[in-house]
Amino acid sequence: MKNSLGNVYQRRNDELEYLKMHKKCSIAQLLDHFKVSSTTMNRDLALLVKKQYILREYGQIIWVGDLYQEPEILNLSAQKYQNRIVELAKNYRSIFVNASPIAAELIETLSQFTELKVITNCVPNDHSINSAQIVYLGGYLHKNHNYSFFAGDLVLKNLKLMSAEASFIYATGITEKMFTTQTLEQSLIDRTMVENTEVSYFWDGNFTIKNRGNFMISKRTTNTQVIGL
């Protein structure tokens, strides 16, 4: 049976986690652990080499992904971005908000606006928030080094059944041509949010306007805007 795109992304993330934990292994070890064909594994590894997560050397797979760390967002910058997003969000009746280091706190603030529907894959800080206007997409829990988010097929399935007037997307890389992020799964979720809204606002939290993440979310178009401070 053909794997769904969400399952492919999940497998590749599992491969990333395995390689990150073991640091060095052989293709035979990967094939034995993940129970996939050599063709599939070589295709996955080629992508990870291209994205500079691993090196292939004399039959060994070597993890080098720790050379990159997602930038931290300074508290002052985080508060300024949150204020800007809240001001923009108040102009809409429904929005998507992707996971980010400030998303949980942002959602808590947005829950005060009873006319605004917020759809998100972030993990809430305060599980007592029970607003009918806040929709958590569910899925399995994926952990980044400084925040967590819901991912997988359930998130994508739910997103494709929904629409919103605008999306607010945290990106770890912004260039003149595109917006990018650091994980396979988040890029697919973010892309689906962008495709289901008329306008998308991007922010990166660390002024890395010329930086580029490993996985594209969207190209820059007339329907995408960058939130500056």
Give the span between the Cα atoms of 121 and 134, in whole angstroms. 11
Average model confidence (pLDDT) for the chain? 84
Quickly state the pLDDT bin for 73 (edges 50, 70, 90).
Answer: low
Assess whether pLDDT exceeds 50 at residue 209.
no
| CA angle, 225 then 214 then 56, to 5° | 170
Domain spans of the chain, in order of start: 5-67, 75-226
| Fold agreement between 5-67 and 75-226 | no
User: Is the pTM higher than 0.85?
Assistant: no
- Output the six-digit token pair for 100: 């980010």
- Of 165, 214, 221, whose CA–CA distance to 185 is shortest? 214
Check if the beta carbon of residue 185 is closer than 8 Å to that of residue 208.
no
CATH code that applies to domain 75-226: 3.40.50
The CATH number fitting domain 5-67, selected from 1.10.1060.10, 1.10.10.10, 3.30.230.70, 3.40.640.10: 1.10.10.10
The residues, any chain, with a CB within 8 Å of residue 45's CB and separated by 6 or more, are 27, 30, 54, 56, 61
Assess whether pLDDT exceeds 70 at residue 207.
no
Check if the beta carbon of residue 118 is closer than 8 Å to that of residue 134.
yes
Check if the beta carbon of residue 95 is closer than 8 Å to that of residue 167.
yes
- Output the six-digit token pair for 112: 């005060």
Assess whether pLDDT exceeds 80 at residue 4.
no
Assess whether pLDDT exceeds 90 at residue 143.
no
